[in-house]
Structure 1
């Protein structure tokens, strides 16, 4: 039963990844139909992310009141309905309306499952959990690519993904009794954490520490890289490199596919390398992939570049999350986890729309330059954090 329950958690995380890459792949076909500028993809992405940020702040209270299983099931149901709303949307405004429950549902699933796995499982389980996110993020571009290659509307891509989400909802509701048997253990731990001093959960208290600020910069920039590639790489390949929509969608699938594969591999590698080493390797690969994406002149090299960025992204987020107790101490780890998640979502709100508004002025061909700069800044922030952690450990010894 324990293995089955862990499998359900993994499969549930697929639902988190399914919608994440769909907008970026479908947008080149969507915005002409709605008669809006290309940059409006950033508005939709921002709306989704704002919903995710909002739900992340309240997920802890909702989990304690309704239980992780029930909240997860209803959250996935909300995302399924939102995707159906994208399929039916007659006007751009309706995309924004549907984006709200999509973000709210995603935030609750993300925080709830990450918190559960971080507290009850080992580092390789965290990597494997996020590899299942990659399965979802990989699958939806392939679906959209198939739909577009057959000459059908992008709407049918959303319909297919919505149907998969509804199927996952059925599984979650059927397995609610398995969650209920484990809820008391979750609630006891959550309640114990809530009894810590109030100042430990205040954002302004956290950011007074240089160590905390360095960590938050790294989270902000990492999600910015991942979200910017997911949203704009298809448009970059089409408009800057002359790749057709179907092949561009395959390339984006390669990005998410290598995130998935990389996290699967990282789960095994984490038994030999430290989280710090995995993070450093990933950041170097992101910069290298950005350089290759910029200079590549053939589709195969473009595919290699974007896949290299995905492989670099793979270990960073799970390793940073799992390192939280070691970096900041067990007594504030859960509060710090929530702050990191919120700042991560903020990165997805700010950086992809930033490029969307800047691109019409300086050219969409500058996308790899943005990714290279983000990767370098993330590396510098992480190294600053490592120095502060080492200094604190030296003082304590």
Structure 2
């Protein structure tokens, strides 16, 4: 989910950090009071803050619908354009290009545009991309380009929405709010396959070919609602970041009297060892879930002989498992310790992946992939929570955005490798690929520095 930029939404999910140093938090949020302390967890949220949290959650839902539909639609795209799995993998390459573009531009933009303006820009780009996809069989080059556009929009909106939620560090319920918005992403990933496969398998043109592109009218409508909701909820921060004597010139922030430009923030973030280690974990983790969700339908159709109309719903089982995992597992993960619980989940994911591989039964495969989704569900929010506590405060925003980028690199690179290898040796290469990725995810988690305490 769907499923991360200088933080927002990913992430994803495409799914978070501390607020941008120059972004303003609306006074109505009541996140901080006059004496510099934060409100207690018993303090009720006002309507303005609640509306912003709903908007943040809905942005993740929209991203999830988009990302969750890819696996169900890929077989139809392959057959509609008459291309191979290697060629269709270019949509993941376009997504990677979008994340890189967002990583380069986000720090600079977020120091000039206020929070609401960044969120609105991200929502507008996603809506534009869905509009370009929804007309009859768009040219393949244009269709691929829209994945870059969608990714940039998601990066801006989801990362800053993530940031807004994670900035509630005065409350011990931050992990629950993060769990909520990332659960909304997986709820979107659950809806995506049902909507995508349902429309693609039931609508045909005069030649009897699937009109799969009609699915994109669904995320287009959601995109319009998303844009309106952002405009209403964050209307108090829709302008430019103002230049103030305290903050220094636009494009710079102060750190103990020292001005830091966007370039220096990026350089400082990339010199932190913890940034690279957490990025490695996300690189393999997102590579696992995107590869599994993106290629499971084609695998079950080609390697297991399943019917396309029925197999298109299997990614919904995977996404449904992730959704339940993000709802049910954050509390025990937080209570019993992030390091040991994520390692336990990795072992369980590997066990169910081996069932998926070694038991030649479509029903068993569908159940196993759902459990794999369930136990991998809390990975994202848990690792983001750890990241906000181990990164230096002055570069945390920029650091999380680059973690997001490296995550999306894995989420783009490994599906591409799977598609290219699948074109030469068959899509059954998916199975050893997933085993290796899950193993690498567990090993990389052991390398991530852990916070000294859960309340650090």
Q: Tell me if the contact between 1:78 and 1:101 (Cα under 8 Å) persists in the aligned partners.
A: yes
Shift of 1:62: 2.0
Instruction: Provide, for residues 102-132 of structure 1, a one-character-per-residue CA deviation record: whole Å limited to 9, x for no partner.
Output: 1211111122122222222512211211111
Shift of 1:192: 4.8
Q: Tell me if the contact between 2:103 and 2:401 (Cα under 8 Å) persists in the aligned partners.
A: yes
Match of residue 86, structure 1, among 130, 133, 139: 133
User: What TM-score, normalized to structure 1?
Assistant: 0.88
Instruction: Provide, for residues 333-367 of structure 1, a one-character-per-residue CA deviation record: whole Å limited to 9, x for no partner.
Output: 33321221111111122111011111122321121
- The whole-number CA distance in structure 2 between the counterparts of 1:203 and 1:249 is 45
- The whole-number CA distance in structure 2 between the counterparts of 1:65 and 1:249 is 43
Q: Which residue of 1 aligns with 2:157?
A: 109
Tell me the number of residue pairs that the alignment of Structure 1 and Structure 2 aligns: 384
- The answer as to 2:52 corresponding to 1:52 is no
Q: Which residue of 1 aligns with 2:234?
A: 176
Match of residue 357, structure 1, among 420, 427, 434: 420
Q: Which residue of 2 aligns with 1:318?
A: 381
Tell me: CA distance 1:215–1:172, structure 2 relative to 1, closer, same or farther (3 Å). closer
Q: Which residue of 2 aligns with 1:157?
A: 215
Tell me: CA distance 1:275–1:170, structure 2 relative to 1, closer, same or farther (3 Å). same
Tell me: CA distance 1:253–1:192, structure 2 relative to 1, closer, same or farther (3 Å). farther
- The whole-number CA distance in structure 2 between the counterparts of 1:175 and 1:329 is 30
Structure-to-structure mapping, 1:1-397, within 5 angstroms: 1=47, 2-88=49-135, 89-121=137-169, 122-152=174-204, 153-177=211-235, 179=237, 191-192=253-254, 195=259, 201-202=266-267, 205-206=270-271, 209=273, 211-386=274-449, 389=450
Shift of 1:240: 1.1
Backbone CA RMSD of aligned residues: 2.7
Tell me: CA distance 1:199–1:74, structure 2 relative to 1, closer, same or farther (3 Å). closer
Shift of 1:291: 0.8
Deviates more, 1:325-334 or 1:40-49: 325-334
Larger CA Rg, structure 1 vs 2: 2
Q: Which residue of 1 aligns with 2:39?
A: none
Shift of 1:179: 4.8
Structure 2 unmatched ranges of 5 or more? 1-46, 205-210
Q: Tell me if the contact between 2:190 and 2:319 (Cα under 8 Å) persists in the aligned partners.
A: yes
Shift of 1:327: 2.9
Partner-residue secondary structure (3-state), 1:66: coil
User: What TM-score, normalized to structure 2?
Assistant: 0.77
Tell me: CA distance 1:295–1:112, structure 2 relative to 1, closer, same or farther (3 Å). same
Shift of 1:222: 0.7
Instruction: Provide, for residues 53-109 of structure 1, a one-character-per-residue CA deviation record: whole Å limited to 9, x for no partner.
Output: 211332233233222222222322221221222222432112123222112111111
